[in-house]
Structure formats: C-alpha cells, structure tokens
Structure 1
Amino acid sequence: MSFDKVIMLDWSGGNDRGPRPVKDAIWACIGMAGTVEEPVYLRNRQLAEEWLTETLTTLQAARHSVLVGFDLCFAYPTGFATKLVGSEDTLALWDWFEARVHDSPKSNNRFDLAGEINAIFPGTGPFWFNGLARDIAHLPRKGRDRTTDHGLGEKRAADMAIPGSFSPWQLAGAGAVGGQVIMGLPVLARLRRQFGKTLSVWPFQSPDTQIVLAETYFSILPDLVVSEPQEIRDAAQVSLYARAFSALSPADMTTLMDIDATPEGWVLGAGQGDVLRDALASTPPPLKNDCFAMPQGAHWTPVAEAHHHLREKLSCVTGTETLPLTKAANRVLAQDVHAVRSHPPARNAAVDGYGFAGPAAAGINKLKLVEGRSAAGAPYDGTVPQGHAIRILTGANLPSGVDTVVLQEDVSTSATEVSFHGPLKRGANARDAGEDMQAGQTILQTGRKITPADLGMLAAAGVGTVTVRRTLKVGILSTGDELRDSGDMATTGQIFDANRPMLSALIASWGYEVIDLGRAPDDRDTLRQILDGAAQDCDVILSSGGASAGDEDHMSALLKDTGSFALWRIAMKPGRPLALGLWQNTPVFGLPGNPVAAMVCALVFAAPALAVMAGGAWTQPTSYQLPAAFAKSKKAGRREYMRARLEDGHVAIFPSEGSGRVSGLSWATGLVELSDPAQKVALGDLVTYIPFNNF
C-alpha cells in the first residue's frame, strides 16, 4: 500500500489566531517520497477546511492517491457513541456532531455542547474543563470534580499505546485534545460527504480509495521534532510527520495499516515509531532549490563567502544502513556509538609478574606463592590471601585479594616463595576496569568517518555493528565535442579527456562510489538525457566543462532552466566559473573545463561539500607554514592556489601558472594558498602549504 502524497494537519479547537504565524494554531504540510513542501499556516478552521478541500480536489484531479493525517481523535472510548447515536457507529457520531457544532472564526459552542452531552450521562458526565469565564451547567472546571458513574473509560486503547497522550474528555489546558476533537469531527463529516466514495476513513473502512483519512499523534517521535528547520514547533511537527509517512515503503505502510478495527479506532503509527524512524533515516530531506543562491549583489564571490554559503545550505543526502565492523571502514557514522562494555572489562595486569595486595614496603619483601596462576582468558577464580602472591600474565584479570603487580624481572622465586625489593605503590602495573572506556560511554559521534583505529576501539568495546550512511554516489561527467578518451584516435583539433579519470580517482580516494557518466557532446538534448539518467543513479553529479555562460556552455543553460541555477564567479585563480544547481533534486557541481582549474575547484569546494552530503562535517584542510623557495607579487581581490611541492624543507611552485598545464598537477604534491589581499612573497617567507592528501 502506498500514497503519492501525504498531508499532515495539526488541528486546533481555538478561535482565529490572526495573520501572523503562531503556535497552537492549525498547520498543514504536504509530503511526497520523503520530501516536504513548506508548512502552511491556517489561522482558523474555516480557512483550513477550505484549503484542504481545494488541495484534495486538485490532487484528485491529478489522479494522486492521498493520505490525510489529523492529530485529533477520530473516536471516543467504547459506549460513548451508543449513548448519543444508538450504536458504536463512529462515522454516524461524526454526523451527530456536525449537526450540533456551531463554529465561526471568533467563537464556537464546544464548551456548551460538552455540558449538554454530560447531562445525558449519569453523574457529571465524562467531559471537563470549562475554559470560559461564565459557568456552564454540567461541565466541571476540574477533572477531580467529576464522578465516575458515567461508565466510560478515561482513554482508548490507542491513547494508552502512546506515552503522554491526553484523554479526549479534557477540553482545554496544556496538551489537551478534547476541544479540537469536537471542532474537528464536523470537518471530517463534511469531507466524507464532499468526496463520497473516493474517500475512506482508516481503520473503520478499507483504505483502498483515492483519499484516506487517518488519525495520528504528533507525539510518536517527540525527540526528532527539534531537528526540523521550522522555528514554530507546530510547523516542525507537520513537516516531520509528512516526511516520515511519505517516506514509508509500501510494505511498511501496509504494516502500519494492518490493524483490526474496533469502534475506538486506532492511531496510525502508534507503537511503531521505529518504522517511522527508519523511514526518516533512509530518506533524508533533499536540498532546497535555493541552496546555491548567493546573496544579492555577490558578483565576484570570495572563497570564504562561497564556503560559508555552502556550509550553511548543504545537508546530508544519503540514507543509512547497519553494517558489521568488517565492512564499516571509511563509512560515515549516522548514529553515535556507545561502548557495549567497559574496556578493560575488569582490573588486569599490565605486565608479566606476580600479583599481591599492595603496597610493598621499602627493603626486601617476601610473599608466599599460591598454587595456580591467572592468565588472559583463564583467570584465577580463587582469593589470594594477605601476605601471598600469585603468578599473573599480561592482560589477565586480577584475582580477588590482588591490586598490585611486580614485574617478573624484578623478583626472585622458589617453588613456594617470591621476593623483591620495595617500595612499590599500591596499584602498580595494574589497569583499572573501564580506565579506557566505560560501558554506555559515547565513544564515536555521528558524522565521523570510521578509521582503522576506530574499528579497533569499537571491537574492544564490544560493538559488533554500527549504523552508517550509505556510500555517497558521485557521478563524474565530462562535456565537450573536442574530447576523446585516452587511447582513441584524435585529430589536432581534439584533446584527450584528462578530467574524468583524474576526478574519478580523486573522488574514489575520498571513499565515495564513483559512477562514470562518460562524455557528453555539445548537444543540449543529449546532455539532458544523460542528466535524467544520472539523477536516478547518483547522489551528486560533478561535471567539468560547460560551466560558464557561452554559446556552448550547455550545462549552465540546462541548470538555469530548472530555476535552481547559480553561476558563481569565484574570486580565485585558477577556476573562476563554478556552475551549481539541482537536476531533479540531485545536486550538480559544474567545474571548469581546464584540468588544473577543475582539480583545484574540486579540492577547494567539492571536497568539503561532498563530506557534508555524505553525512560528515564540513572540514577545512590542515595547512602548514613553510619557507618559500620562490618570489611572487600578487594583486588584491582574489585568492590564488599554485601547484607546489617540498624541496629541501622549502616550498617550490610549478614554473607555469597556466590552468591547462596538467603536468603541473603530477609534479606537485599540494597547493600554496595566497590569501585575498595584495602581498609580496620573498625567498624564505613563510607561506601556506596544503598537501593534496589533506583535502
């Protein structure tokens, strides 16, 4: 079972909230395949019903299947409907409320109607909390003022399945849902009448219609709401749950809806929060269309400004999976890792020697030997008496009665006795339990790329599996009619494609999966087809060539048509033009065509950007201040990167700064970075050197 669109609504029982978006109002959000539109603020129920009806009509005309989730109870505890409509017919109860609720943007009769309903029941009836200044007959202001002889349960089974849920009988107060239920059921009744047989209500009806209404609570994943970008919590909630429910696989949606219906109904997702968490983790939110849009007026963009903008706008685009340690090297952690047990798990010997109860006094110490020994993996299970010692090996647990170890090289032994010179501190040559890692301690944090050393630490702490980001898939594409693959025949008017093998190897060295997209000719339709296919297979696309604004710069032209295009004129040398955009929600980095410029832009911009999109952190490469083996005068206004290598402790640069001189990249081991202001470098002056491996 699946839906093309998911709409989540945070309902309200209050009056009109005014034109400015506020909390405790009605918010709605539309999701599709794990992506969401901006949450919609609806100031009152009348506007909300109008918006929802128009939206559903539009989606229905487009033949979309739609799940609509309301955060209000669709039913009451068993027995309530029978008292009002003569049977446990929940949908008939909706019609009963529609006929009696009076609602306008400024006032409604929910409290008076609750008092009238209470009067039908024995005692004081189930509803409570009069939110008005005037008294209302049969409606107590506090829950403790009720009697229990109305015969109804305080909550439904579905409510009790969600920690912290409220009773539908409480009409107002912090967290209360009763008022919004009374004010929501008439709207649900009108939606049923409006859309007829094309709409069903889960779980009371089979969810095989084009529109399905379902009850859900926005307290199923309370800890994840803070991760949403919206400042208003209600907006964040509808955004989170629209993402979560729209990201569910058909199988998972079927699992969530496979519930035996009762008159009390059920809450979609109740008790199955892990399914929603997994859906969110496997389908991270996409980049927004404005992620590459620089601030107005940024004509020549400094490198630092471009870095800041990318860092603020980019986010992870990869899902997650759980792997054993043997397959986790170089993967990015998607969750913090905690030590399963302490390391070491027990006090143990740091050396081969003899264990006893310390300290040892100055002078000669003589201790009787007990039979047996303690070895790693075969600990001594007895107690060593005071004044005795035991043979112990490195890594072995300290037996009861032992807290100190003397090195075997420092003792004399006989069959029954060990002697050595003191003094020796208590605890010498012994390791404390958990002195390295404590059970439950966070030992690696989300976003870290796992190193071989990390694997050793994880194994020592008893961690068998880790949840990591799926490997980022990076498509590499070269553009231009003049290109030929190395080894092919080429005329003097053609050149061999240096960028694709160079960038592919660079991306692979960073731990990402390379998808070779080949060469695209200077033909817009062909390039469009290549991009269409790449968007299905790749998380991000790196192209070289066609990134400027000329007649044959087709990459820039196509990205411009998407509405997400940005052509950055970077204030740097080499590599000034940098085209960026989204193609079917897949980020595209359009690098310059000259090999040196393509390489430098990949190092300076793609390296940190891809790290973020792979689930890691934005990092700047480590640089070193070293004496220059060259002299140079540089003008103000742009940052310069020169191919460089170390020679006799000094930094030498490649003789030519031409961005087409690809041999200079092979000659170099890194880059010299000269900052934006004007400067003069003399022989021996300290300059910033960044090895290629540090990017």
Structure 2
Amino acid sequence: MSLFDTYIAVDWSGGNGHSERPRKDAIWACKHGSEPVYLRNRQVAEEWLAEVFEAELNAGRRTAAGFDFPFGYPAGFAEHLTGSEDALALWDWFELRVEDSPKANNRYELAERINATLPDRGPFWGHPHQHSYEALTPKKEGISYKRFAEFRHVEKLATGTKSCWQLSYNGSVGSQVIMGLPVLNRLRKKFGAKVWPFEVLDSPLALIEIWPSLDKLDLSTDAIKDAAQVRAVAAQMERMDRDQTLAQALAAGEGSGAEGWILGVEALPKPPVFKDDCFALPPGVDWMPVDDALAKLDAALTCVAMPERVSHAEASGRIVAGEVIARRSNPPAANAAVDGYGFAHASTGEGDQVLPLVQGRAAAGAAYGGAVPAGAAIRILTGAVIPDGVDTVVLEEDCSVTATHVAFRGPVKRGANTRRAGEDVEAGAAVFAPGHVLRPQDVGLLAALGVGRVEVFSRLRVGVISTGDELVSPGADAPPDRTYDANRPMLLELVCAWGFEAVDLGHVPDDRAALKARLDKGAGRCDVILTSGGASAGDEDHVSALLREAGSLQAWRIALKPGRPLVLALWDGVPVFGLPGNPVAAFVCALIFARPACLKLAGARFVAPQGFEVPAAFEKRKKPGRREYLRARMGPEGVEVFASEGSGRISGLSWSEGLVELPDGAVDVRRGDPVRFLPYRSFGL
C-alpha cells in the first residue's frame, strides 16, 4: 500500500522576486502528473502551495511535499538560538524574525545578528559587495567552525552539497533556509502538516527535505533545468512509493535529531554501545602499571566515528575508513626521467653512435603521436610518455646534436633514463589501510593516483569540561584564593592538535546538579568527554561522586607520576575521562592515556609515542613502584629536565620540548646515562 496519493516537488529560492516571465534560479514546483509551475516569488509560492494543499486535503488525498533546502542546521545551533535542540522551535524562531517582500528581505541583517552572538567569526558568511556588515563577512575566509560544524552529517554523505551557512554566490543554500523555513512553518501550522524526520508522519500532509542533485535524473523534458528537476523528483517520489522504497528512505532519517535528513541518503551505521563495565578492572587489582592500563584501554574501546566521503583536498588529518585503492598507475605510462634523446636499444651498440632525428619531439603533456622507426631517435623531455619504438633515453649532456642527427658514445644500458608505468604505484593497488591518519604528503599521493574522494571517519567530537568553585576565566580579576582555568583551554587546544573536533562544554562549579546537566548536554553532542578536576575522593570531588552514582565509574589508581587518579566512566554511553586537576598531571595523563584512546575511538590505531634513547644531562634517583614522566628538552650535553617536579608548575610545560620517561622499577640516573625521551611531536603536537 502506498503512503501517499499526491507528490509535490519544490525548487526554492532565497533571493528577491523575479519577473512574471519564467526563468531559471527561481521557484519552481510540480505536482506529479501535472506540468511544472513557475512561482516568481515566495509570496506567490506560499499562496500556490496553500491552494494545492487545501485542495488535496479536501479531496481526502495524502500528500508528500518535498522542498530542496535543509530543514535543520548542524547540531547545537537550534539550542544556541532557542534554548532547545528542537528543529521546529528553530522554525518558530525564524518565522518571528524574518521580514520578506518580493523586492527586499532581512536575511543578511538577521544572519549578522546571529553571528554577533558568537565569539568567533561566522558561522554565516556571504553578502553582495555593495553592502557592508560588521559581523557578516562577504567571503568564507577566516570563518570558524569550532562551535558548529560546517556541514550536517547527512551532507557529508551526499557529494556536492553546499553549507547552510553560505548566504550568497553559487549554491547560496543559507539564504534558501532562512527565507524558506518561515513559509513552511506557516503552512505547517495552517494545515496540520508533519515534518520529516522530526515528527511521526501521521497527518495527511508531510513536508520532506529533498535534494534534486542526489541522483542522476532525466532533465531533458524541459528547457529550464529547474522545471525539469521538480518534474523528475515528483515522479521519483511517486515511483519510490509504488516500489515500496519510500518507507525505507524515510526510515533512514530516523535519529538524525535537529539536523534533519535528505530523502534518499542512506542511513549512517550505528556506533557500538559500550557496556557499563567496559573499564572494570580484574578482581584484586589495586595499583595498575602504565602498560597494563594502556592495554586495558585498547581492549575496552572501539571506533565510534561514522564513515563519510570527502575530497582529497579535505583529507589531510582525517582517518581512513575504507581501504584506498589507486585509480590509475603512477606514473600512468612509461616516461623519460631526463631531457635527452630516445631510441630503440637494439639499434645501437658500442663505440660512436650516430642516429637520424625524426621530426617533432615528445614532451610532458604533449605525447609524440607516431612511432619512432628502428635506427632513428627523437628529442624527448623529462616526464614525456615514451613513444612507440623507444625503450632507452640518453642524457642530452652526453650527446652532440645537429638539425638532423644526434651522436653519442655507446654502449648505453637498455632502458636507461626511463621510468616504467606503475613503477611507483600500480593501478588497483591498496594505498592506505583503514586507520591510517592522512598527512599532507598522503594527499599528494591521492591526487597523483586520481583518487578524488576518499572514505574517512567523521571527526571525533571531544567535549572538555573544567570543574571547581576555585576556577575563574582567564583575564578576569581574581583574588588569591581563586585559580585561573588553565586546563580547559589547554585541553581544547590539545584536542584540535590531534585532529579532532573540540567542543567547549565550559566550566562547572562544585554543583552536582549543574555537572549532571552539563554531562547530559555533552553526551548529546560529543563522542567522548574529558573532565579536569574532581577526580579524587574528597568532599568536593563531584566528578567521581556523580559518576559513581551513575553506576559506571571506575577509578583507576595508576602507578605513575604525575597524575595517579584517572577516572573512567560511561555517561549515557559516552566515554568520560576524568583527568587530574593539576595542570601538569592533566597534561601528562591526556598525552599518555586520552590521546591513544581518542585515536582508537576515532578509527585509528591505539598508538604508543615514539621514544629515543638520548644521554641524560641530569641526575635523578627514583624508587621502584611508579613510572615517572619528567618535563624535558634537549640541550648541548643531552636531555635536560625542568628544575621542579611539582605538578602545579605549568611553566615547565612551556619550557619543555617533551617528556623523559623513567621506568617502573628503581633507577639511578647519572649524567651521560641513556634515558628515553618522548618529544611532544610523538604525541601529535
């Protein structure tokens, strides 16, 4: 049985109105079985839609109306404006504030007002150059997407989509959204329509997000592409319903939250659900060696990031999700390694060689069109495809040349100065395996092999919370009994340096209810949460107390210095790392434990930092029982360590270039003894 009786597709516009003569880049609509209709502005479009909806409802026909602009924004935006992560509350918000007429609207002014509520530039951008806005830039340069993502999750799966933050120029989806949501909201309330995927479609009228460019459609039916698109999409919706695939496509959008979904995009796979006891220690374990703790983390965690496809230009720093295969060989054909003269080796021998030159030459990007006869030679330049009849090249510096002949001394080695096809990488070869973190040089290889898009994991969203009544924001006036919040900015920058998406969840005082609310918020926005402070068992250690109440806390007492207590827990299925409050201990624990764990969650391998044996330029006697990490840097006589080991001496982190790792057992370090040095670069910094 079909879900609907009537299918309507609408191609929207965010600009001002147009003339009555049908034209492209305007509003077009089509009801399946009827001719496309040109609607010169949004006011006319709203009237037409209202008439059609009313007629269909009065006739008892169930109607699906598709509109080609996003119904929601990236996660967090609705809550920022409305206080609720409810897409329809955002529809109400825009309806109250958007001013629209056929010749003018306030979309740029409204976007500027929204931008002004945020500390960074953006997220909206784009406006005509004849206007000037203080908080709205004409171009994308300098826009920050730390607070809200540039694209919704569904757009990362649909190649070629534009961002809902773009207000001007080709593909100005942002203007379509701002100017379209108020219209749909009025129609929704007037006719009792339900909006997919935010609501159950239990009304005769459903509003659905579409994207005509998702599939290859037959657009040869109409002279104007927009008209052909709405005709084709309306027919496609009817065909999907008749084939019983429309229900599956609608189900794919379930769980997308306030971001919404595009009809026809396949659903994302669900991340694994961690068990509440995934961090539990074996019975009888008290103090845990560092290596055992790392092994336990590695075994407990698995990837939670979702695969998506990005262009090679966006791939640097991303983690490969599917095996990358070379589309073609590198080099794609045999070519010359030097500037010189090419010939068939069989035509030459020992002693002086003189060969006639053929007309023309072979150059990179300009292959020789014919074959070189046996006994003849051709001028050939570096990178040029080897012509037929040539298998050897002699360097031009080893030749004497006239207008008609080339002379050189033999013998010349067969195949000299040539590169065979696929000498570097052959077509079809596996280039990168899942888990590999792509670097700039890898992007160059992808481009050379013709790999335009690559499957990677979405960026891991790492939330950071700092806790404690004693903390104040940097820059504020603070009495001596208050401490500036250093951990949260430090951890947020660490997260960014590791290639993840940092989510600032703010500072929470010693208030258990406030902390619970913040963890609830973080679990809805993040894949993993880092907290600092409150991880011990004192009166004001609310992090550990609250997580213990939730029933999933595991307090690992790790045999290391600095940073013994490491709280591990799950909050609504999201891993939480409770780091120490002292900055040095928080930093060291983040490097040693949080980084490899986050890499595993993000789809990469659980990696250990690369260390180097270097001579000690210090002396140190250490008792057995704990592994120690000393702030260190290289000096003229070897590796030096910071003067103090106090975990509150944060200046030592800036002074240092890495960590000296001292083993679990007793050690007596003398100057010149080899010690293990871990540069910060080994931790991705």
Alignment TM class, shorter chain as reference: 0.5 to 0.7
Does 1:376 pair with 2:364? yes
Amino acid at match of 1:354: Y
Contact 2:616–2:640 (CA<8 Å) still a contact in 1? yes
Unaligned segments of structure 1, at least 5 residues: 2-206, 210-253
Match of 1:327 among 308, 311, 314: 314
Per-residue deviation at 1:259? 5.8
In structure 2, relative to structure 1, the CA distance for the partners of 1:520 and 1:255 (3 Å cut) is farther
Aligned-partner Cα distance in 2 for 1:616–1:405: 45
Amino acid at match of 2:479: T
Amino acid at match of 2:516: R
SS of 2:653's equivalent in the other structure is helix
In structure 2, relative to structure 1, the CA distance for the partners of 1:558 and 1:470 (3 Å cut) is same
Aligned-partner Cα distance in 2 for 1:375–1:685: 58
Q: Which residue of 2 aligns with 1:508?
A: 496
Per-residue CA deviations over 1:62-115 (Å, capped at 9, x if unaligned) read xxxxxxxxxxxxxxxxxxxxxxxxxxxxxxxxxxxxxxxxxxxxxxxxxxxxxx
Alignment of 1:90-169 (within 5 A): none
Per-residue deviation at 1:365? 0.9
Match of 1:388 among 372, 376, 392: 376
Q: Which residue of 2 aligns with 1:546?
A: 534
Does 1:290 pair with 2:311? no
SS of 1:409's equivalent in the other structure is helix
Structure 1 segments of 4+ aligned residues over 3 angstroms from their partners = 254-261, 277-282
Q: Which residue of 2 aligns with 1:343?
A: 330
**Count, aligned residues:** 439
Aligned-partner Cα distance in 2 for 1:597–1:268: 50
In structure 2, relative to structure 1, the CA distance for the partners of 1:256 and 1:582 (3 Å cut) is farther
For normalisation by structure 2, the TM-score amounts to 0.61
Per-residue CA deviations over 1:467-513 (Å, capped at 9, x if unaligned) read 11111111111100000111101111111111111111111111111
Q: Which residue of 1 aligns with 2:425?
A: 437
Match of 2:354 among 366, 369, 381: 366
Contact 1:256–1:268 (CA<8 Å) still a contact in 2? no
SS of 1:391's equivalent in the other structure is strand
Contact 1:644–1:654 (CA<8 Å) still a contact in 2? yes
In structure 2, relative to structure 1, the CA distance for the partners of 1:447 and 1:394 (3 Å cut) is same
Per-residue CA deviations over 1:311-362 (Å, capped at 9, x if unaligned) read 1110111112111111111010110100001111111101111110115422
Aligned-partner Cα distance in 1 for 2:546–2:605: 30
Aligned-partner Cα distance in 2 for 1:255–1:319: 31
Aligned-partner Cα distance in 2 for 1:563–1:431: 64
Contact 1:671–1:689 (CA<8 Å) still a contact in 2? yes
Match of 2:441 among 450, 453, 460: 453
Q: Which residue of 2 aligns with 1:416?
A: 404
Q: Which residue of 2 aligns with 1:355?
A: 342
Q: Which residue of 2 aligns with 1:466?
A: 454
In structure 2, relative to structure 1, the CA distance for the partners of 1:260 and 1:663 (3 Å cut) is closer
Per-residue deviation at 1:565? 1.0
Aligned-partner Cα distance in 1 for 2:358–2:637: 61
Aligned-partner Cα distance in 2 for 1:456–1:535: 37
Amino acid at match of 1:380: Y
Aligned-partner Cα distance in 2 for 1:471–1:693: 21
Contact 1:631–1:683 (CA<8 Å) still a contact in 2? yes
Per-residue deviation at 1:278? 8.6
Per-residue deviation at 1:208? 8.4
Aligned-partner Cα distance in 1 for 2:300–2:662: 26
Aligned-partner Cα distance in 2 for 1:342–1:580: 47
Contact 1:483–1:497 (CA<8 Å) still a contact in 2? yes
Per-residue CA deviations over 1:239-273 (Å, capped at 9, x if unaligned) read xxxxxxxxxxxxxxx99995658xxx9x999xx9x
In structure 2, relative to structure 1, the CA distance for the partners of 1:341 and 1:399 (3 Å cut) is same
Q: Which residue of 1 aligns with 2:188?
A: none
In structure 2, relative to structure 1, the CA distance for the partners of 1:668 and 1:443 (3 Å cut) is same
Contact 2:617–2:637 (CA<8 Å) still a contact in 1? no
Q: Which residue of 2 aligns with 1:405?
A: 393
In structure 2, relative to structure 1, the CA distance for the partners of 1:208 and 1:501 (3 Å cut) is closer
Contact 1:565–1:580 (CA<8 Å) still a contact in 2? yes
Aligned-partner Cα distance in 2 for 1:687–1:302: 19
Match of 1:691 among 670, 679, 682: 679
Match of 1:525 among 513, 516, 520: 513
Q: Which residue of 2 aligns with 1:62?
A: none
SS of 1:424's equivalent in the other structure is coil
In structure 2, relative to structure 1, the CA distance for the partners of 1:259 and 1:567 (3 Å cut) is farther
Per-residue CA deviations over 1:545-564 (Å, capped at 9, x if unaligned) read 00111121111112112222
Alignment of 1:83-94 (within 5 A): none
SS of 1:652's equivalent in the other structure is strand
Q: Which residue of 2 aligns with 1:7?
A: none
Aligned-partner Cα distance in 2 for 1:358–1:290: 71
Per-residue CA deviations over 1:198-234 (Å, capped at 9, x if unaligned) read xxxxxxxxx989xxxxxxxxxxxxxxxxxxxxxxxxx
Per-residue CA deviations over 1:629-658 (Å, capped at 9, x if unaligned) read 111111111100011111114011111111
Q: Which residue of 2 aligns with 1:499?
A: 487
Per-residue CA deviations over 1:254-302 (Å, capped at 9, x if unaligned) read 99995658xxx9x999xx9xx9x99675432133222211212111111
Q: Which residue of 1 aligns with 2:295?
A: 308
Aligned-partner Cα distance in 2 for 1:260–1:571: 62
For normalisation by structure 1, the TM-score amounts to 0.61
Per-residue CA deviations over 1:650-677 (Å, capped at 9, x if unaligned) read 0111111111111111111100001111
Contact 1:542–1:588 (CA<8 Å) still a contact in 2? yes
Unaligned segments of structure 2, at least 5 residues: 2-200, 204-236, 253-261
Contact 1:282–1:318 (CA<8 Å) still a contact in 2? no
Match of 1:557 among 545, 549, 562: 545
Match of 2:623 among 620, 632, 635: 635
Contact 1:283–1:318 (CA<8 Å) still a contact in 2? no
In structure 2, relative to structure 1, the CA distance for the partners of 1:663 and 1:377 (3 Å cut) is same
Amino acid at match of 1:393: L
Contact 1:257–1:268 (CA<8 Å) still a contact in 2? no
SS of 1:543's equivalent in the other structure is strand
Contact 1:541–1:587 (CA<8 Å) still a contact in 2? yes
Aligned-partner Cα distance in 2 for 1:388–1:298: 81
In structure 2, relative to structure 1, the CA distance for the partners of 1:625 and 1:459 (3 Å cut) is same
Aligned-partner Cα distance in 2 for 1:289–1:316: 17
Contact 1:376–1:393 (CA<8 Å) still a contact in 2? yes
Per-residue CA deviations over 1:587-634 (Å, capped at 9, x if unaligned) read 110000000000000000011111111110011111010111111111
CA RMSD of aligned residues (A): 2.6
Amino acid at match of 2:608: Q
Amino acid at match of 2:341: Y
Per-residue CA deviations over 1:399-451 (Å, capped at 9, x if unaligned) read 10001111111101111110001221110000001111111110111111111
Contact 1:642–1:657 (CA<8 Å) still a contact in 2? yes
Does 1:477 pair with 2:465? yes
Aligned-partner Cα distance in 2 for 1:341–1:542: 43
Q: Which residue of 2 aligns with 1:243?
A: none
In structure 2, relative to structure 1, the CA distance for the partners of 1:628 and 1:278 (3 Å cut) is farther
SS of 1:361's equivalent in the other structure is coil
Amino acid at match of 1:315: T
Q: Which residue of 2 aligns with 1:178?
A: none
The percentage of aligned residue pairs carrying the same residue is: 55
